[in-house]
Amino acid sequence: MDNERIRRTEDFVKQKFDGAIYLSAHPEVKAYRLEHTYRVANIGLEIARKEGFDETEMVIACLLHDVSYCEEFGENGWREHGRRAAAIARPFLKELGLPEDRIGDICYGIAIHVDDEADFPGERTPFALSVGDADNIDRFDAYRIHEILSGDGFLTKSFEEKQEYVEKRLIRLREIREMPVATKAAEELWQERLDFYIVFFEKLAAQLRNSRSILLL
C-alpha cells in the first residue's frame, strides 16, 4: 500500500472534521464519525485484499466517504452527503496525483454510497459498489447494537413494547440478510454480521420470554 497517500488522506479528513462548526460543538459526534470512518476503511481493505482491488485506492475511498460531515446539513443533507463528499474529495484526489480514471471510480463509489445515485456519470463497478458495502457492513457491528438500543429508548419501553420491538427487529434482519452486495468478500462479511445480530436478538427474545413466568414444558 501507498502509506504516504493514506496518511495524507487521514490528515485531510481530520482537518476537515476539525474545522467543522457542528462537529466541534458536538465532540461525541465528531469522535464517532472518525471512528466509523476508520472502521469502514478497514472493512474496505479486507474486501480489497480478498477481491484483488487496489488496496490503497479502496482505503482512500472509504476514508473519504463521509468527509462531507464537515459541512452543515440542510434539509436533504443526509441524503446528499455522499454526493457532497465526492465533490469535496475530487480536488484532493487530484492533489494526490491519482489517475483521472481512478479518481472517477473512487468518487462515483463515494457519491452513490448513500442512496445509490450520483450527480455525474459513472460506472457501477465492483470497486465503486464496495464503498457502500463497507459502509453498510459497519452498520452491524457490536457497538451499533448498544447505539441502536440506546437511541430507540429500549430500556424505557414497557415489557410488551420490548417484545414487539425485538420481534420486528428480527423480521427485518432476516429480510436484509440476503441483500445483494457487489463481491463475494462483502457477502461473507455481510452475512457474518447479520448472523451475529440475529443471534443477539434471538437471545434477547428468549430472555424476555423467560422474564415473566415459569415456562411450562
pLDDT band at 217 (very low <50, low <70, confident <90, very high): low
Give the per-residue SS3 of 166-206.
HHHHHHHHHHHCCCCCCCHHHHHHHHHHHHHHHHHHHHHHH
* % of the chain residues with pLDDT over 90: 92
What pLDDT score does 206 carry? 95
What is the grid cell recorded at 97? 496525483
Q: By C-alpha distance, which of 106, 123, 89 is closest to 44?
A: 106
Mean pLDDT on 123-136:
98
pLDDT band at 216 (very low <50, low <70, confident <90, very high): low
Q: What is the pLDDT of residues 70-98, one digit of tens each?
A: 998 877 878 999 999 999 999 999 999 99
Give the C-alpha distances (Å, rounded to integers) separating 8 from 27, 92, 97, 212: 23, 10, 12, 56
